[in-house]
Structure 1
Amino acid sequence: MQSISFCVFFVFVCVIFSLVSENAKIVTAAAEGPKNNGVYIVYMGSASASRTDFLRLLNSVHRRNGKAVVHTYKHGFTGFAAHLSEQEAQAMRQSPGVVSVFPDPILKLHTTHSWDFLVSQTSVKIDANPKSDSSPQPYDTIIGILDTGIWPESESFSDKGMSPIPSRWKGTCMVGDDFTSSNCNRKIIGARFYESSESDGIRFHSPRDGAGHGTHVASTAAGSAVANASYYGLAAGTAKGGSPGSRIAMYRVCVADGCHGSSIMAAFDDAIADGVDVLSLSLGAPSYFRPDLTADPIAIGAFHAVEKGITVVCSAGNDGPSSGSVVNDAPWIITVAASTIDRDFESDVVLGNKKVIKGEGINFSNLQKSPVYPLIQGKSAKKASASEDSARICSEDSMDETHVKGKIVICENSVEGGGSDWQDQAETVKNLGGVGVVLIDDNSKLVAEKFPSPMTVISKKDGAELLSYVTSSGNPVATILPTVTIINYKPAPAITYFSSRGPNPAVLNMIKPDISAPGVNILAAWLGNDSSSTPQATKSPLFNVISGTSMSCPHVSGVVAFVKSQNPTWSPSAIRSAIMTTAIQTNNLGSPMTLDTGSVATPYDYGAGEISTNGALQPGLVYETSTTDYLNYLCGRGYNRSTIKSISTTVPDEFDCPKNSTAYYISNMNYPTIAVSELKGKESKKVIRTVTNVGGDGEAVYTVSVDAPGEVDVKVIPEILKFGKNNEKQSYQVVFTSTVSTLNEVFGSITWTDGKHRVRSPFVVTSKSSES
């Protein structure tokens, strides 16, 4: 398997071809920060910003070069993208009404059984299935997806039995290459595509998906139920999205060289005007390129979408397991980590001594089931001119054909820090006449790669046993069995190694990611013409299995849409709170969730926990984060009132940033989680939270319980909250007191319950300070 760190540096062309050919199952969220196509984004804040300033700057560009303007933004916010010189960009930065001018960044792309698994894990047993087509949902939700496009012929996008398109929908179905208005229906109600400039290289003038990623994501979020779906018989079952009653609006923002920030902002601008309820983005910047908020197309677009009542869900990134690697971490975004499910793809190795070693991966091995094939280590076949280390990892030109031909070769992990270039290893062995490969690699073992020839991946622990057999046997032999699907695998869920982690070093006073969801080996709809994705000489697969936080994001988007359908008046923050406070922290063994290494997971790994498909329908209490909270967050990040007033349409006249605004004000955002930094010595810090009663029963009495580590004393005031009616608000304080001189990150939780509802908020406390 390709290492995540390696994939990050691939240009998008490589991502597209590796995705289609299944050489890379983790579609990495990445960005080429400094690289620029000559396009700059001129961001001028809210849509109510000065029309005069906007037209003046836009006209100045038109006068210079009528073709210079690439996009204009005028619905959700104001600005434009245009070809500019750096000198022109610098001059515009000084112009009245301009918030920021920045180079157009290139961001990158970051299920049958997964939904059944989530339902089985939830602790709230209610009917989580959307109402039947004959009984319309209370609110017809529309999910907007920014991605690589859509394959409309997939059965997952059938509109059979769906009601007419909601009259409030204002979007369009754009016509393009191999895409007509008839490709839209009552499921796919909108389709747009964006092209940033003539320098994009290979251009595809259409909303049609040429990569598969957007189709997979869309069907995971809102695909119609499809019986007997599978990947050549594997992962068989009924494929469906999280909200199969929802509509889909596809915004194809990715072109040959990546997902341009200018296109992403144009899609946000259109989606706000079109009337979507949810926006799902399985893409973003890598952790090594973390743009300023006013130069981040996703953070900007999401802010204005949330101001208009649209919930925005984004992937956390695939740069794990490094600490501080999470992206898309603005507080107005729901940020999603990736976890495993209880389905496994097993391809075993049978040894001559009758021992069976469990392997992972997808292969359709045609080898005999009896262990009759000679088994050797790569280093045992090394050429005289090659090093033992290069042969051990089966590097090209490192092994002798006479030693490899007709044998199964054991190759070891080829990439420092995890992952393997298994494609090169498999090709090397095949070209030398080898009949199969056993790869020893803990990380690659976790994601089911699709192997074009007999190949499987085993753990280092099992690898030691395998190598012992080879060295102790006078005639070691083996075979590799074809893959079978294993259900009820334990433990699950676990946070997978590639999932990006918190904290954001610059903002220790907020926990990100927010939530985790299935993102490993997810089956969903695929292209209908992708012959490269099949390991057999058969027709293209209609469904495919891939992994990444790209796959976890639409799981949450589907739940968001379903919650919205049942609670149409809830704000984006209320929906986020309902999802977070009802999350699950245990696996199917009844034990605390872990990382895939077996270590206990923390809120920096999974946020509030694993998403519950139906718990969010009955949260009891919700934390509603106001626009003022977000404005105070911007103050805490160093922005002044003038800039903030330009960004937001809802800044109260009396609003001003607090004097000496610090990260402590971020701790006091009315967020469902709590993070406190700089708690040193034996000092105390206080945070305030406000909850709204949405239990539906009117009167309610909630009592609090605290799970705190010994290094910090936690006191909640008051310990009882009494509500007399629905939608009533009550506030409480939490006082954190350190009992030691220095705190690293320590975690705990505060839970309110009325006997029916359980409202849980995790917290983290540290002595560390946010980076400036």
Structure 2
Amino acid sequence: MVWKLTGKYLDVIIFQGLQLEGEATKLKVEKGIVAIFLDTKYELHTTRSPIFLGLEPAKSTNMWSEKLASHDVIVGVLDTGIWPESESFKDVGMRPVPAYWEGACEIGTSFTKSHCNKKVVGVRVFYHGYEAVVGRINEQKEYKSPRDQDRHGTHAVATVGGSPMHGANLLGYANGITRGMAPGERIAAYKVCWVGGYFNSDIVSAIDKVVADGVNVLYTSLGGGVSSYYRDSLSMIAFEAMERCVFVSCSAGNAGPDPASLTNVSPWITIVGGNTMDRDFLVDVRLGNGKKMIGVSLYKWKNVLSIEKQYPWVYMVSNSSRVDPRSICLEGTLDPKVLSGKIVICDRSLSPRVQKGDVVRSLGGVGMILTNTEANGEELVADSHLLLVVEIGEKEGKKLKSYLLSSKSSTATLAFKGTRLGIKPSPVVAAFSSRRPNFLTLEILKPNLVAPAVNILVAWSEAIRPSSLKINNRKVKFNIVSGTSMSCPHVSGIATLVKSRHPEWSPTTVKPALMTTTYVLDNTKKTLRDASIAKPFSPYDHGLRHIDPIRALDPSLVYDIMPQDYFEFLPVIVHKTITNVGPPDSKYHVMVSPFKGASMKVEPKTLNFIEKHQKLSCKITFKPKIQQTSPEFGSMEWKDGLHTMRSPIVITWMPPPM
């Protein structure tokens, strides 16, 4: 079977059949064939944030971030579609759609032209590649239309630019006003994800339409394996989009804290990691010995535990050095006679967190304490459980088990404290955030920066339950979820604000504006920490630190990067062009970190600008000194007394060739 997808900038031909490899080999020499790729299956990377990021004063009712926008920037989202009835997509007060927009409102199952408006300006679906590999979409079980049946796309679109919604909450948690980063922007949803997977042929076709339709900013949280740039179709089409003035951002992935867990590493794509905010949903674990531990939960059912009473508990574990499946509460491993009427301790591993709670509930347990293991450290992710469940960190978990094993009469109870603000320290880099290093090109740091990714409240598809369990019959308009696919739309929305404030800027100007204005101190004035180890983190984990929207809107200086610059990775001497986007008559001095393994020289040491938009160049020279056994971290900063443009630098010594 052959599908031909004709785009404005490229044609994609999909072959399905047993002779694919042989036919592809023959096609390589045919005239007009630029490249041949195996159709790859991709995976999705799974509201306090506007205030936390400084886009709005904490007590203000005005949509300050909305005022920052000109209402003429359009964001494209490649994902699972959109739930159009959400009030986050209302277009009240918005001006007519920009004349340059050439997109379409495609219809399909349960989706009509009326679902598009001045907020949702376009929707499209892409499934020919999917059907060529998987087979025809079953329209009895899945919407063959832009409608979102998964929830992922709706959540992402609303985070980017959802309209303000008063009284938003999840079962009473996080009650308040929810809105996207740039609530005045336009949205275009491109559905490329289906129940059976997502394929790069559809993704490439969608991005081609993104460019042709007139999208300014593109967000996607899709990731496959890392391969050479010229063999990565997503990387190549993203480069094409960047050349045609589309800012492209991707989530880093949720495979942390394992090293080299990034799946998107292309230099021209802004890759976003994830971190916490200063809001949490706290629960006290009160022990029979009078001590107390703090965890998190989004449980909202009939509370069967009294805070005035202590309950027996159980932790099913053997003396063997091997992991006992009972300790992680896998289905079919627990004895209801042992669990009935008790609080059960379960280790976080293998099965989904909410599924563990349902297993305990079905066997008569009255509550569950979910303890992190070394892989998750002190990261706490709240879930909408069907049982009284609280998650605690690894350190507290060890203390809890020690108390339990020390006394046969040990007891506990759980006291829910609800939504709490001002949590310290924050932000903290999420343990799940994929990270370091970028083995494809070690000298290019990925992720580029981090943004809020933990416990984000925003719009939800009513086609799916908040806990994703079949037994859960609750329907909600909003949900609280975590993942770098939550942090990336934050950055896409902020990029939209920057583009709206500076419409003449190209994607290669917007990107350094976001990256060089970041910060590295938390709300306790200490270096940001990594949740997986509870220690300060490195540029391998966070790239150029935490995004700062206000500073990004007024960066004063930006690096000029031309498309051809991405092909010139010079290992010893680097030339940089710097553009003054701040006031004229500006003078900047350079400061560089000392390194043990190499000397770093910047020429000139001072940049004297006499007018706005003036461009000056500098040369950076590295000279090896003493080989080091581990990477060295430092930075280069240009300062004028008010503004600082910072670039992190990592020097890595490679073993000599064999």
Q: TM-score, normalised by structure 2?
A: 0.91
Equivalent residue letter for 1:690: T
Q: How many angstroms does 1:476 deviate by?
A: 2.4
User: Is 2:169 aligned against 1:266?
Assistant: no
Answer yes or no: is 1:692 the counterpart of 2:624.
Answer: no
- Pairwise CA RMSD of aligned residues? 2.7
Read off the aligned partner of 1:437 and give its amino acid letter: M
Counterpart Cα distance in 1 of 2:493 and 2:331? 44
1:606 maps to 542
| Counterpart among 230, 236, 244 of residue 300 in structure 1 | 236
Sequence identity (%): 38
Aligned match of 2:88 in 115, 137, 156? 156
* Counterpart contact for 1:350–1:371, Cα < 8 Å: no
**1:487 alignment partner in structure 2:** 421
TM-aligned CA distance change 1:460 to 1:401, over 3 Å: same
Alignment CA distance shift 1:486-1:224 (3 Å): same
Q: Please tell me the residue identity of whatever aligns with 2:35.
A: S
2:303 pairs with 1:369 = no
Are positions 1:425 and 2:361 aligned together? Answer: no
How many angstroms does 1:423 deviate by? Answer: 4.3
Task: Give the Cα separation in 2 of the matches to 1:331 and 1:232.
Answer: 41
SS at match of 1:221: helix
The answer as to 2:560 corresponding to 1:624 is: yes
Could you list the runs of 5+ residues in structure 2 that have no partner in the other structure?
none
Please give the per-residue CA displacement for 1:344-364, whole angstroms capped at 9, x wherever unaligned. 122222223332221223212
Q: Deviations over 1:428-484 (max 9, x none)?
A: 433332211112214285221222111112223222332333344453222223361
Task: Please state whether the residue corresponding to 1:623 is helix, strand or coil.
Answer: strand
Match of 1:513 among 447, 451, 457: 447
Residue 180 of structure 2 aligns with an amino acid whose one-letter code is G
Report if the CA contact (8 A) 1:121-1:612 is conserved: no
Identify if the C-alpha distance between structure 1 residues 330 and 200 changes in structure 2 by more than 3 Å, giving closer, same or farther.
farther
1:379 aligned partner = 316
Cα offset, 1:96, TM superposition: 2.3
Q: Is this contact kept in 2: 1:375–1:470, CA < 8 A?
A: no
Match of 1:666 among 569, 573, 577: 569
Are the structure 2 counterparts of residues 350 and 82 from structure 1 closer, same or farther at C-alpha, using a change threshold of 3 Å? Answer: same
Number of positions where the alignment pairs a residue of Structure 1 with one of Structure 2? 637
Following TM superposition, by how much is the alpha carbon of 1:242 offset from its aligned partner in structure 2, in angstroms? 0.8
Q: 1:405 to 1:283 in 2, by over 3 A?
A: same
Aligned to 1:331: 267
Shift of 1:153: 0.8
| Structure 1 contact 200–257 (Cα < 8 Å) conserved | no
Contact in 2 for aligned 1:508/1:769 (Cα 8 Å): no
Q: 2:24 aligns with which of 80, 89, 92?
A: 89
Maintained 8 Å contact 2:150/2:463: no
**Is 1:582 aligned to residue 517 of structure 2?**
yes
Task: Identify the range of structure 1 (703-712 vs 509-518) with the bigger mean alpha-carbon deviation.
Answer: 703-712
CA distances 1:99-143 after superposition (whole Å, capped 9, x unpaired)? 221221111111x10121111899xxxx993454xxx94461000
Matches within 5 A, 1:263-662: 263-285=202-224, 289-364=225-300, 366-370=303-307, 372-379=309-316, 389-415=324-350, 421-442=352-373, 443=376, 445-473=379-407, 475-482=409-416, 484-531=418-465, 533=467, 540-596=475-531, 597-630=533-566, 633=567
Report the 3-state secondary structure (helix = DSSP H, G, I; strand = E; otherwise coil) of the residue aligned with 1:481: strand
Q: Is this contact kept in 1: 2:255–2:434, CA < 8 A?
A: yes
Please report how far the alpha carbon of residue 221 of structure 1 lies from its aligned counterpart in structure 2 after TM superposition.
Answer: 0.4
Q: After TM superposition, list the pairs within 5 Å mapping 1:92-241 onto structure 2.
A: 92-110=27-45, 112-119=47-54, 129-130=64-65, 132=67, 137-138=69-70, 140-196=72-128, 197=131, 199-203=135-139, 204-241=143-180
Which amino acid letter does the alignment assign opposite residue 426 of structure 1? G
User: Is this contact kept in 1: 2:161–2:186, CA < 8 A?
Assistant: yes
Task: Say if 1:306 and 1:394 are closer, same or farther in 2 by CA, change over 3 A.
Answer: closer
- Give the CA deviation at 1:373: 5.0
Deviation at 1:248, TM superposition (A): 0.2
Report the equivalent of 1:765. Answer: 651
* Secondary structure in structure 1 of the residue aligned to 2:145: coil
Output the CA distance in 1 between the equivalents of 2:458 and 2:482.
Answer: 11
2:652 equivalent to 1:719? no
Q: Distance in 1 between matches of 2:391 and 2:90?
A: 37
1:337/1:725 CA distance change after superposition, 3 Å: same
The residue identity in structure 1 corresponding to 2:9 is: G
Residue 542 of structure 1 and its aligned partner are, at CA, apart by: 0.9
Partners of 2:508 and 2:472 lie apart in 1 by 49
| 8 Å Cα contact 2:283-2:415 kept in structure 1 | yes
Retained in 2: the 8 A contact 1:352–1:371? Answer: no
List runs of 5+ in structure 1 lacking aligned partners. 1-64, 634-664, 668-675, 677-684
2:335 and 2:448 map into 1 onto residues whose CA distance is: 51
Structure 2 equivalent of residue 732 of structure 1: 618
2:314–2:342 CA contact under 8 A, matched in 1? no
CA, structure 1 residues 480+733, in 2 after alignment: closer, same or farther (shift >3 Å)? same
C-alpha separation in 2, matches of 1:237 and 1:139: 24
Which SS does the other structure have where 2:240 is aligned?
A: helix
- The offset of 1:576, in angstroms, is 0.3
**Equivalence map 1:11-26=2 (5 Å):** none
Distance in 1 of aligned mates of 2:185 and 2:538: 33
- The answer to whether the 8 A contact 2:459-2:477 is kept is yes
User: In 1, Cα distance between the equivalents of 2:611 and 2:127?
Assistant: 51
* 1:218 maps to amino acid: V
In the other structure, the counterpart of 1:704 is: 590
1:47-86 aligned within 5 A: 68-73=2-7, 75-83=8-16, 85-86=19-20
Partner amino acid, structure 2, of 1:283: L
